[in-house]
Amino acid sequence: MITRVDLVADRIENPGNAQALVDSARMFGSHCLFRACGDFTTELIGAATSTEDVRPITDTELAAQYSPIVALDNLPRATSIYGFRLVEGPRPTMIVGNERWGIAHELESMAVQTVEIPLISRRLNCLNVAAAAAIGLYYLSRGGGGRLATRSAPARRRPELLLIGPSDHIEVGSSIRSACAFGWGRVFLEDREQKWFVRDRATRSEGRGAARRGRNSINVVPTKSDQRYAFDDVCVITTRILNRSGAPIYRANLADGHQQVIAIPDESRIDVKAVDWERLGRSVRFVHLDLPNQSFPYRYRLIASIALAEVARQVGRKIESRTTGRSDLRYGSSLDLLTETNGEVISLNELAVY
Amino acid sequence: VVEAIQEMSRSKHTRPYQILAASRVRAPYEPRRRGDKSSEYVALRTLKELGIAPGVNQIGVDRDENAPLPRILNKQPRGGRFQPLSRSDIIEALQFFGASCIYGIKSISLASGVGRSTGDGILLGAYVAPGRVLLFDQRPSPWRLTQRLPEVTIQKLRRAGADLDIAESGLRTIITWPGETLRAFLLFDGLMHEIGHHILQHSKGKRYARVVRTRDHEEFADRFAQECRARWSARDIEKG
């Protein structure tokens, strides 16, 4: 059973994120409400194609109309979203916060429960707000799904990841950010549209910025569309049910280790049926996200992030040691490398191109 | 008078680390008075009472004997990688630098870097307190990097004798290790650097507690490694 959970976005600053949040809510047939914050919110909603299901909301309206209210933020004592059971109520809603400051304190105190998306990376401690909202809505609308697996060696269970043909540099950047945050150290990228491995400075900088490349040390490996691989198992993530044999993502085994590859094609540009998937490996499976709404504006980062969250759930985390012994004191020596430059000098003319 | 002062025993707790290490590493389970003049006199008196007159050098610690070495474990490197340092290289270095570099070291592992987080760098080694040193496998020369190198790293590599070819404003770097430079790099910036961490930690008598700030720990280990490199070079010059 799928529950409709509405989305409340608190003081969102970036119009791109606002539009992505609206698309995220539409994927699940939910309303997207922006917490009123002066004229800025009105402009933001204007940018995000204003309709009835997208409107501003005040704190009083929120408290009066919605129950239960759940906050999605990585706050202390937040519960994992995996396996989270929403308390019963007439109109559940989920709040996501500002990109930098998170959820406002007054909203946080209105929430009856706080949930977080468990991340593996130590350097990236948050996802893109729209990607996090999509993951939150996905699990809350399904009653939490399964719990986060615990394994002795989760790294051996982690499959390889292949991103195919993303059509927007921000979308691919955010997807790479999600991959790193969920613990991948390497991602294969088939950059058909040349959105990541691109010479145009503005596109490259925006993409790298979306991926938080300054802190994101993931290794992005370029591949070609005619490159052949010999994986044992190929799982293609789709948003549609292509054939009867296709399983929903929560029923598919997505934690089979390095001999398995999770392929996430951009379905806004790629016809999944027309692709020769046999080139990647012997056995090909189509896995669908089982979304409640079949017609929605396609956003690559949302689809990829939901898929990565589910794979990360199945891969799991290490069993916590129950011994209360002293932790190791450890010093490592290494040759330091810089993943990307953290800043660049640009002129005003160049800035105008962004 | 000078001779008499030199013969006087010092307090056990103020013996310098080098002297303490030399005796403790050879007799780790003996009581602390082992090798003292006082115990030597007691032994001599006992032997004399038994009617035995021993020679001068028959009692006391033989400081010329080689100190027992820690365990050296050698694990299979990852595919396409190798261990620049061999077991005999490590033994030679430890015997040259003496007991202070051996005291308290439990094991030195030539480990594979599988499953270790690389972060933003190339892993050389690690020190796990108390007393475990890990040295990781490396790619053979030349190393081709597609990431920028900080200035500190560039200087470190040049000091170690590597040839750096930096292209595309730092985005592509080829590091070539001529001759034995990679082995020496791992010996000093890997092994001796980690032993530097150990000496600082061990000389303070702490096992798990962090005795100084991490930055100071690293500085000490770097300085120790550089001193070791200088001593090693001086030995090579003496050998000709």
Considering only the beta carbons, identify the residue of A327, A334, A340 that sits closest to B124: A334
Contact A334 B189 (CB under 8 A): no
**CA A95 to each of CA A45, A135, A231, A308, B213: distance values in angstroms, whole numbers, following the listed order:** 17, 13, 40, 21, 41
| Tokens, residue B158 | 């040049």
Chain A hits for B122, CB-CB cut-off 8 Å, are: 334-335, 337
Nearest to B145 among A331, A332, A337 (CB): A337
Residue matched to tokens 């409709």: A4
CB contact under 8 Å between A334 and B119, yes or no, is: yes
List the 175-234 stretch of B: residues with Cβ below 8 A of A.
Answer: 189-190, 193-194, 197, 201, 207-210, 214, 217-218, 221
Per-residue pLDDT at A51? 65
Query: pLDDT under 70 in chain A at which residues?
Result: 1, 36-53, 243-245, 320-327, 338-345
- Tokens coding A326: 């002293």
Half-sphere exposure of B128 (CA within 13 A, CB side): 12
Chain B nearest CA to A336, separation (Å): 4
Strands (E), B46-162: 71-74, 107-111, 121-129, 132-136, 143-145
Q: Does A217 touch chain B (CB under 8 A)?
A: yes
pLDDT mean values, one per 10 residues, chain B (240 residues): 53 72 80 72 83 61 68 88 92 91 92 64 87 91 81 89 83 87 93 94 84 91 93 82
Kindly provide the b/e burial profile for residues B134-146, where b requires at least 16 CB atoms within 10 angstroms of the residue's own CB. Answer: bbbbbeebebebe
pLDDT score, position A139: 93
Residues of B in contact with A155 (CB under 8 A): 115
B17-to-B20, B24, B199, B203 alpha-carbon distances in Å: 5, 10, 9, 7
Q: CA B214, CA A3: separation in Å to the nearest integer?
A: 51
CB contact under 8 A, B152 and A336: yes
DSSP lists the bridge partners of residue B174 as B144, B165
E strands, chain B, where? Answer: 71-74, 107-111, 121-129, 132-136, 143-145, 163-167, 172-176
Q: With an 8 Å Cβ cutoff, are A155 and B115 in contact?
A: yes
Point out the residue among B124, B194, B217 whose CB comes nearest to the CB of A335. B124
The vertex-A24 CA angle with A268 and A287, nearest 5°, equals: 55
The pLDDT value recorded for residue A199 is 77
CB pairs < 8 Å spanning A and B:
80
The partner residues of A54 in beta bridges, in order of sequence, read: A32, A51
For position B3, what pLDDT does the model report? 56
B150/A331 Cβ within 8 A: no
Chain A CA closest to residue B208:
A329
Please indicate whether, in this complex, the C-beta atoms of A337 and B122 are within 8 angstroms of each other: yes
- Interface TM-score (ipTM) > 0.90: no
CA distance to A72, A163, A302, per residue, from A231 (Å): 36, 15, 26
Give B-chain residues touching A337 at CB under 8 angstroms. Answer: 120-122, 145, 147-150, 153
User: What residues pair up with A286 in beta bridges, in sequence order?
Assistant: A236
Q: Which of residues 105 through 164 in chain A touch B, CB cutoff 8 A?
A: 155
Question: Inter-chain contact B148–A326, Cβ cutoff 8 Å?
Answer: no
pLDDT value of residue A339:
55
pLDDT value for B88:
93
Indicate the residue of B148, B217, B221 with minimum beta-carbon distance to A338: B148
Residues 6+ apart with CB under 8 A from A290: A241, A248, A249, A250
User: What are the Cα distances from residue B54, in Å, to A20, B33, B103?
Assistant: 92, 21, 31
Q: Could you count the other beta carbons within 10 Å of the beta carbon of residue A27?
A: 27
Candidates A185, A328, A333; nearest CB to B125? A333
Would you give the DSSP letter of residue A102? B
Chain A nearest-CA residue for B129:
A329
Cβ–Cβ under 8 Å, residues A73 and A119: no
B148 to chain A nearest CA, in Å?
Answer: 5
Query: What's the pLDDT score for residue B84?
Result: 93
Task: Give the nearest partner residue to A335 out of B122, B148, B194, using CB atoms.
Answer: B122
Bond preceding residue B54 cis, omega within 30 of 0: no
Q: Which of A152, A331, A344 to mutate to test the interface with B (most CBs of B within 10 A)?
A: A331
**pLDDT tens per residue, range B54-69:** 665 554 445 556 778 8
Structure confidence by residue, pLDDT tens digits, A127-183: 999 999 999 999 999 888 888 998 888 888 999 999 999 999 999 999 999 999 999
Please state the separation of Cα B24 from the chain's center in Å. 16
- Residue A301 near residue A175, CB atoms below 8 Å: yes
Residues of A in contact with B173 (CB under 8 A): none
Point out the residue among B150, B208, B217 whose CB comes nearest to the CB of A336.
B150
Nearest to A336 among B121, B130, B210 (CB): B121
B163 at the A interface (CB within 8 A)? no
Contact: B129, A332; criterion CB under 8 Å: no
- From the list B108, B107, B109, the residue with the least C-alpha distance to B75 is B109
Identify which of B103, B117, B193, B206 has the alpha carbon closest to the alpha carbon of residue A326: B206
- In the prediction, which pLDDT does A50 show? 56
Which residues make beta-bridge pairs with A98?
A102
Looking at the complex, does the CB of residue B125 fall below 8 Å from at least one CB of chain A? yes
